[in-house]
Chains A and B, each alone.
Chain A
Amino acid sequence: MTDTLTIRDLHVSVENKPILHGVNLEIRRGETHALMGPNGSGKSTLGLAIMGHPKYVVTSGQILLNDEDIVDWTPDQRARHGIFYAFQRPIAIPGVKMADFLRHATTNVRNPERREGEELVPMREFRKELKEKMGQLHMDLEFARRYVNDGFSGGEMKRAEILQLAMLQPKFAILDETDSGLDADAVRLASESIAKIGRDSMGLLIITHHDKLLEHNPPQFTHVMLGGRLVETGGPELAIELHRDGYERIRQKYPEADADNRAMEQVEAGI
């Protein structure tokens, strides 16, 4: 049976404010989905809720990993069962070296039953693999000695997220604007890397405002989020249309969701 991640009628609130109003989505391993939508429509909220961020509270609905509801799982349980979220805004952890962080993360994700204090993956093997993957991403080895995201440029952070994706080899990966902040060459490299890391063995949900990433990783499905709902789903041509024409048609077609989105945008802008 193909692994499946199913989002069923998901409602999510942040600080008691409802953001998602019933999202439905099904991703199978091997599929690539694009998630598009205007600013503030709730795309990152969906990603963070799937990963289990404690502030993003599921008020109703289900997140199913092969029929098992994971809504009550901790983020690390989800990670150890093959879910990965590449942060739109990665978090810095001063004083913790990238290599040490990754070695521990890799150990836990590859040995979901590992208990605290048990052995980490052997240093030599880990180093070899890390070096190889960094090489593929054209990353300087010095990077591994730096503190996690601490003082990284926008582009470096995104590359570091892809490196983690490459090391952790999840079943399902949500890439939240992993292409923003990267220069043109870096976007091409990132896109190729993602394809190489194993697009075919992962279920991918790509959140993006650009088209390069999708060019290299053509989605079978495109979803449009507006006002906390997935209002439309189509094929690759929908992504192309939205890039070309923007969201005007969608906004007019779904006035209720549009009103919600505008209300959220205003909150976001602090009006």
Chain B
Amino acid sequence: MPALSIAPYTTEEFEDFLSRRDEPTWLVERRRRAFEQFLQLDWPSRSHEEWIRTDIRMFHPERYSLPGATPPQPATGVPSGQMKLEAVAGRIVSVDSSAVSATLDSSLREQGVRFQSLSAGLDEAPDWLVEQLMTRAFDSSYDRFAALHAACWSGGALLHVPAGVRVELPFHLLSAITDGNVDFGHLFVRLEADAEATLVCETESLGGADGFHCGGVELLVGPRARLRFVTYQNWSRRTWHFAHQKACVDADGELEWTVGALGSRLAKVNQTVELEGRGARCRVNGTMFTEGRQHLAYHTLQHHRQSHGTSDFLYKTALQDESRTVWRGMIRVEPEAQRTDGYQRCDNLMLSRLARADSIPGLEIEADDVRCTHGSTTGTVDDEMLFYAMSRGFTRREAARMIVTGFFQHVFDRVSVPSVRDALARAIATRVRECD
């Protein structure tokens, strides 16, 4: 074990990190630049607008080393995940930010599809990857976590689907953390024109691990391409989860993004969709369930840059115990983006009087011919519904479960991957204990 440093991630540690890796110069230079940014930035504090409601004073980054600094721990279990995917196009399993297995259907490989650990994909990196990795859908200067990720990311995955290739079966990425360790995985997805794919990403902590995730996601959806993307976040309640996730959708491209936010002790996620081409479409199906003392903060941005785009973000959240959520949604419409159709909504269901949900919808519209609607609601499980169900033989808890699941049904109905829908419904139903 390296000694704990009070100021975590010193230049020395960073150099050690680099020396353990044998990476091309262009990448090392990028990492160094990001590390400079990291050194110049402070950890976010509550004086930053985005962090007013999210307090990370209990987060001690010095407890966690950079990826690869500690030798792999004897396995405390095998990552298994919650998705019951019967067949997959490819699967990557990663533990503590490094891939332990990777498979890809051989006929897809022959069609030029790539699905591999991102680190492995850099050996013969194509020009477009060199050009676009963390330059288009990632901003390393956004905050200190973004800079740390850009400097020290490790593992993760690369999915590339060439023009016109349509992949029916889902790709599966399962990332796990072991106790005291980190996941700094970076996900880079690129669908070329007219390509189609489904990618299901899930996370878990082995043995209820205490861990630190500092992640990044880049999704590049080409013209008329169609991506179904799922992030099923199921870290243990001792894991710190920070992530910057961004998608760029080209003309007439389509993105369906399902979010299952269930785990972590504290999460701060920036989810951005850039509608970059004319007629780009995006739909977000968000589900959050929090309990205990969990704190989940989601900051979403639907950024319309070109005309005729549609974006539809629906989040549903149920909160149990003393948990807390923050949802801050923004629709931004640039002057060029006429005929935009933007929608955002967050509904909260309070299962406890001690829970708290803050929803802050926002609009910034600079075009005049647009339709944008937003809203949020907060309610409790209705006593009359409970009584109605109980009068038909449901126990109070069964009734509460059913009503809570019903609350989410509208989002589930929008999820086009059945195994994801089922996993979400199961996860939520088993978490509901009672409601005041």
Do A96 and B405 contact each other (CB < 8 Å), given the known contacts A91-B384, A116-B398? yes
Cβ–Cβ < 8 Å partners of A126 in chain B:
none
Q: With an 8 A cutoff between CB atoms, is B126 at the interface?
A: no
Interface class of chain B by DSSP: helix
Cβ–Cβ < 8 Å partners of B384 in chain A:
91
Instruction: Give A72 to B383 CA distance when docked, in angstroms.
Output: 18
Assess the A51–B402 pair: CB atoms within 8 A. no
- A residues 135-187 touching B (CB-CB < 8 Å): 147, 164, 168
Assess the B395–A91 pair: CB atoms within 8 A. no
Chain B minimum-CB-distance residue to A83 = B391
| B392 partner, pick from A74, A94, A116, A164, beta carbons under 8 A | A164
Assess the A76–B395 pair: CB atoms within 8 A. yes
Q: With an 8 A cutoff between CB atoms, is A246 at the interface?
A: no
Do A101 and B392 contact each other (CB < 8 Å), given the known contacts A54-B383, A75-B387, A96-B402? yes
Instruction: Give A76 to B394 CA distance when docked, in angstroms.
Output: 6
Cβ–Cβ < 8 Å partners of A168 in chain B:
392-393
Cβ–Cβ < 8 Å partners of B405 in chain A:
95-96
Q: With an 8 A cutoff between CB atoms, is A93 at the interface?
A: yes
Per-position contact with A for B397-425: 1 when CB-CB < 8 Å, else 0? 11100110111111000000000000000
Q: With an 8 A cutoff between CB atoms, is A90 at the interface?
A: yes
Q: With an 8 A cutoff between CB atoms, is A53 at the interface?
A: yes
Tell me the minimal C-beta distance from B434 to chain A in angstroms: 12
Assess the A105–B387 pair: CB atoms within 8 A. no
- A residues 47-64 touching B (CB-CB < 8 Å): 51-55
Assess the A105–B410 pair: CB atoms within 8 A. no
Tell me the minimal C-beta distance from A129 to chain B in angstroms: 16
Most chain B Cβ neighbours within 10 Å, of A52, A54, A80, A104:
A104
Assess the A109–B389 pair: CB atoms within 8 A. no
Assess the B403–A91 pair: CB atoms within 8 A. no
Assess the A104–B402 pair: CB atoms within 8 A. yes
- A residues 63-118 touching B (CB-CB < 8 Å): 74-76, 78-80, 84-85, 87, 90-96, 100-101, 104-105, 108-109, 116
Most chain A Cβ neighbours within 10 Å, of B383, B389, B392, B399:
B392
Instruction: Give A74 to B383 CA distance when docked, in angstroms.
Output: 14
| B403 partner, pick from A80, A87, A93, beta carbons under 8 A | A93
Q: With an 8 A cutoff between CB atoms, is B142 at the interface?
A: no
Cβ–Cβ < 8 Å partners of A100 in chain B:
402
Cβ–Cβ < 8 Å partners of B393 in chain A:
76, 79-80, 104-105, 108-109, 168
Instruction: Give A94 to B408 CA distance when docked, in angstroms.
Output: 9
Cβ–Cβ < 8 Å partners of A164 in chain B:
392
Cβ–Cβ < 8 Å partners of B399 in chain A:
76
Tell me the minimal C-beta distance from A152 to chain B in angstroms: 13
Q: With an 8 A cutoff between CB atoms, is B51 at the interface?
A: no
Cβ–Cβ < 8 Å partners of B407 in chain A:
94-95
Q: How many residues of B contact A (CB 8 A)?
A: 25
Assess the B403–A108 pair: CB atoms within 8 A. no
Instruction: Give A246 to B403 CA distance when docked, in angstroms.
Output: 42
Cβ–Cβ < 8 Å partners of B409 in chain A:
94-96, 147
Q: With an 8 A cutoff between CB atoms, is B326 at the interface?
A: no
Assess the B406–A91 pair: CB atoms within 8 A. no
Q: With an 8 A cutoff between CB atoms, is B299 at the interface?
A: no
Tell me the minimal C-beta distance from B369 to chain A in angstroms: 33
Q: With an 8 A cutoff between CB atoms, is B385 at the interface?
A: yes
Most chain A Cβ neighbours within 10 Å, of B387, B402, B409:
B387
Instruction: Give A76 to B383 CA distance when docked, in angstroms.
Output: 14
Cβ–Cβ < 8 Å partners of B383 in chain A:
54-55
Interface class of chain A by DSSP: mixed
- B residues 367-401 touching A (CB-CB < 8 Å): 382-385, 387-399
Cβ–Cβ < 8 Å partners of A85 in chain B:
391
Chain A minimum-CB-distance residue to B387 = A53
Instruction: Give A52 to B392 CA distance when docked, in angstroms.
Output: 12
Tell me the minimal C-beta distance from B18 to chain A in angstroms: 51
Instruction: Give A55 to B396 CA distance when docked, in angstroms.
Output: 15
Instruction: Give A117 to B406 CA distance when docked, in angstroms.
Output: 18
Assess the B406–A76 pair: CB atoms within 8 A. no
Assess the A116–B406 pair: CB atoms within 8 A. no
Tell me the minimal C-beta distance from A91 to chain B in angstroms: 4
Do A75 and B390 contact each other (CB < 8 Å), given the known contacts A54-B383, A93-B385, A104-B398? yes
Instruction: Give A53 to B386 CA distance when docked, in angstroms.
Output: 10
Instruction: Give A147 to B398 CA distance when docked, in angstroms.
Output: 17
Instruction: Give A52 to B410 CA distance when docked, in angstroms.
Output: 31
Instruction: Give A87 to B385 CA distance when docked, in angstroms.
Output: 12
Assess the B388–A93 pair: CB atoms within 8 A. yes
Assess the A108–B389 pair: CB atoms within 8 A. no
| B394 partner, pick from A52, A87, A94, A105, beta carbons under 8 A | A105
Do A93 and B389 contact each other (CB < 8 Å), given the known contacts A104-B402, A116-B398? yes
Assess the A105–B395 pair: CB atoms within 8 A. no
Do A109 and B388 contact each other (CB < 8 Å), given the known contacts A94-B407, A96-B406, A147-B406? no
Most chain A Cβ neighbours within 10 Å, of B384, B390, B397, B402:
B390
Do A54 and B398 contact each other (CB < 8 Å), given the known contacts A94-B409, A101-B392, A108-B393? no
Cβ–Cβ < 8 Å partners of B398 in chain A:
104, 108, 116
Tell me the minimal C-beta distance from B10 to chain A in angstroms: 51
Assess the A105–B392 pair: CB atoms within 8 A. yes
Assess the A95–B406 pair: CB atoms within 8 A. yes
Instruction: Give A164 to B382 CA distance when docked, in angstroms.
Output: 21
Most chain A Cβ neighbours within 10 Å, of B383, B402, B405, B406:
B406
Tell me the minimal C-beta distance from B410 to chain A in angstroms: 6
Cβ–Cβ < 8 Å partners of B406 in chain A:
93-96, 147
Instruction: Give A99 to B319 CA distance when docked, in angstroms.
Output: 27
Report the 10 A-B pairs with minimum CB-CB distance, sorted nearest first: A95-B406, A95-B409, A108-B393, A75-B390, A91-B388, A96-B406, A105-B392, A79-B393, A109-B393, A76-B390
Known: A78-B391, A87-B388, A95-B410. 11 other contacts (CB 8 A): A54-B383, A74-B396, A79-B392, A91-B382, A94-B409, A101-B389, A101-B402, A108-B392, A108-B393, A116-B397, A116-B398
Point out residues on B near A: beta carbons under 8 Å.
Answer: 382-385, 387-399, 402-403, 405-410
22 A–B contacts from the bound complex (CB under 8 Å)? A52-B391, A54-B387, A74-B390, A75-B387, A79-B390, A80-B393, A84-B391, A91-B387, A93-B385, A93-B406, A94-B407, A94-B409, A95-B405, A95-B407, A95-B408, A96-B402, A101-B402, A104-B393, A108-B394, A109-B392, A116-B397, A168-B392
